[in-house]
Amino acid sequence: MYVYLYDKATKDPHYESMLASIETRLIEFGMNGKVERLTVYKDLDRVIEQHVKKGAHTVVAVGDDATLRGAMQACWNHDVTLGFIPLKKTEWSDRLRLPIGAEAVDVLSKRLTRSLSIGLTKNFPILEACAFTATPDAWIRCDDQYTITFTQDSVCHIINESTQDIDNEEHGHTFRIAIAPLKNSRFKKKKKTESTFFARSCMIGTSTNAIPLSIDGVNEIQSPAELTLYRKHLNIVVGKQIG
Amino acid sequence: MPGMFSKSEESTMSTSHESSHTVIGTTVHIEGTLKSDEDVVIAGSLNGTVTTSKNISIHAGAKIDGDVHAHDVLVSGQVTGDITAAGTATLTKTARVTGDVVASNIAIEHGAQLKGQMTTQSAQ
């Protein structure tokens, strides 16, 4: 059974004809299913859980990247395949090689999927990245092999490579740690270098006060925190140029 | 708080996947054993061992206290430890090495400093 998540963009008259052609195509392919119109009052996690109990096997976000991100957050711990019908060109439509509108239905019907790794920290999924500002008393322990410390305040992103570089299966199932110093003061002339590391697990901590960590721009937790790759994967439909 | 989802951060950060190389920048310090299957670039400091099946480049200003193992090693910084290269070890004029260098080929520029033994041997 298919479940379609319609976000607020689908109410825009600008997309009315596109939506009609999408729905027509879904019916032609025999892929019509349940429609959930997302509102601020709906608990998406609960909605998905109920549909999964009733036998939903595919959840399709219809809208933009925010819709897809919400669907990923709700579906990561369920045995469903995720699909996306973008109403406009977005970062994720490019990443997944998806056309927009009704043509994306054709892609959805082919069900070519990619298995995305999910990061996990304190029971929150890391679908894209964990971001924080590191001070010189912060540290990152990688794969229990080496520890990174900072000589100055830096912006750190611990990126789930699986969802960033979908083409590259070789590097897919790992975290990429990207570190850049905050901009130098105008009195400093020496150019600083960004750092890049790869690890399957990280522990973030500080020797003094806890620091906030932003998870996918949605949740916030405090250090210390361990980031690992979850044993389950999220299957997502991709366009035919991948794989 | 800055993050990849906000536009307001003041940073030179690029979060796109540009390279699979490990890069130790000038503003970080590493303690421990760093292993990689890709090229490693070191511009910062490391206290421990760094090993890769590919190549290591140690920039001028970089400091390593520990051993280095790679296919090719290019040294322009400071290494206190042994360097083992299955291919070529190159010490440029700013290289300051205290330790032994073992490689199939060794190249040393005028100005490089080495306190240790040099041994050339066949690729393993």
For B76-95, the pLDDT digits (tens) are 999 999 999 999 999 999 99
When the pLDDT of each residue in chain A is averaged and rounded to a whole number, the result is 89
Chain A positions touching B10 (Cβ under 8 A) are 182-183
Q: What is the pLDDT at residue B116? A: 97
Position A181 pLDDT exceeds 60? yes
Position A226 pLDDT exceeds 60? yes
Q: Which of A129, A165, A195 sits opposite B28 (nearest CB)?
A: A195
Before A224, cis peptide (omega within 30)?
Answer: yes
Question: How far is Cα A193 from Cα A179, in angstroms, rounded to an integer?
Answer: 9
Give, in order, the Cα–Cα distances in Å from B32 to each of A105, A116, A138.
50, 30, 16
The ipTM (two decimal places) reads 0.85
| pTM greater than the 0.80 cutoff | yes
Note whether B25 contacts A157, CB cutoff 8 Å: no
B68 within 8 A of B62, measured Cβ to Cβ: no
Task: Give A126's pLDDT tier (boundaries 50, 70, 90).
Answer: very high
Q: How far is B37 from chain A (nearest CA, A)?
A: 10
Chain A positions touching B29 (Cβ under 8 A) are 148-151
Task: Give A115's pLDDT tier (boundaries 50, 70, 90).
Answer: confident
Please compute, for residue A200, the number of CA atoms within 13 A of its CA located in the half-sphere on the CB side: 12
Chain A positions touching B35 (Cβ under 8 A) are 145
Lowest mean pLDDT across A106-110, B16-20, B54-58: B16-20
- A78: its two tokens: 């369920």
Q: Which of A128, A133, A198 sits opposite B1 (nearest CB)?
A: A133
Task: Give A189's pLDDT tier (boundaries 50, 70, 90).
Answer: very low
Strands B78-80 and B63-65: parallel
- B101: its two tokens: 């260098």
Q: What is the pLDDT at residue B8? A: 36
| 3-state SS class at A13 | helix
Report the chain A residue with the minimal C-alpha distance to residue B32: A146
Count the Cβ atoms, other than its own, within 10 Å of residue B9. Answer: 17
Main-chain phi, psi angles of A87, to 5 degrees: -90, -10
Q: What is the pLDDT at residue A191? A: 52
Please compute, for residue A223, the number of CA atoms within 13 A of its CA located in the half-sphere on the CB side: 23
> Identity (one letter) of the amino acid at A77?
N
